[in-house]
Structure 1
């Protein structure tokens, strides 16, 4: 059986995979994580944005959300991970996904006659408006603010991949 931290991380990535499948997207994963990309999500076929648009995502999980003023304060992104997500010099758009999970792994999923329930909820943010940090500090963690309105859903995931998402101002 997985230890709690690995179990939590795997569940977070699987949560995103399930949403991607529900959205009709294809997901893939590099065989080695060198670029702070956990999953690649792609819409197959021709779209308004071109042929098979895709996004790259870094998936993080938290047991307890730090929320204030309508924002999630996520402060566990390493300096290196931040630099690999921040800025605009990417061919493929990149996003940070933060999945809020229950503190007890036994509560991750529940099955009833109504269907399968995955707990709790995922959020997304683009760091394209932030500049990478110039000095390297491996021990430093960067605080990222994620609007509570940036919920990962089937429609929002499709909008991220097709480039039709509208980001809140502020």
Structure 2
């Protein structure tokens, strides 16, 4: 399998694991129209769990190429993806999920009897309302390090969506 597909699969595994730990579904669109997945909220109504219609569309990226600075991670996002993410006239909120892997491929996944370790982690970032770019190739985005995607942060993000707040 080519390296980019391995990275993509590991990033999806991370997003799925975070969603499920947060008590949500992770859906994958049948066709690629700019988004790789959807976090879908689940509610418990009288002991029956069902989808409540709240969702977040995600553009999932996986890379070993980021710049770590004191308070942020800098990543060169493809211009087409950037422009998809800045749109404001959309039904569901959109966010970038950037999964960062170690440079050494042997460290990406380690499975033993004692546990499974998937390195490293992902950060989330909403670009809603930023100016579209005319760049042909990439746009450098700066993601605050505090925006680590965990089951707790995903639940907090979804709660904002449900109350009409921007993420």
**Short-chain TM bin:** 0.7 to 0.9
Give the distance between the partners of 1:129 and 1:46, measured in 2 at CA: 33
**C-alpha RMSD of matched pairs (Å):** 2.6
What runs of 5+ residues in structure 1 fail to find an aligned partner? none
TM-score of the superposed pair, with normalisation by structure 1? 0.82
Structure 2 alignment gaps of length 5 or more: 46-51
Hey, which bits of structure 1, 4+ residues long, moved more than 6 A?
A: 164-168
Partner SS state of residue 146, structure 2:
coil
Helix, strand or coil: the match of 1:31?
coil
Separation of aligned partners in 1, 2:36 and 2:159: 19
Higher strand share: 2
2:159 paired with 1:162: yes
Q: Output the CA distance in 2 between the equivalents of 1:85 and 1:38.
A: 12
Find the counterpart in structure 2 of residue 93 from structure 1: 93
Return the alpha-carbon distance in structure 1 between the equivalents of residues 68 and 88 of structure 2: 27
Q: Tell me: higher relative CO, structure 1 or 2? Use CA pairs within 8 A at least 6 residues apart.
A: 1
TM-score by length of 2: 0.84
Q: CA deviation at 1:65?
A: 2.6
Q: Structure 2: how far apart are the matches of 1:92 and 1:61?
A: 22
Count residues with an aligned counterpart. Answer: 160
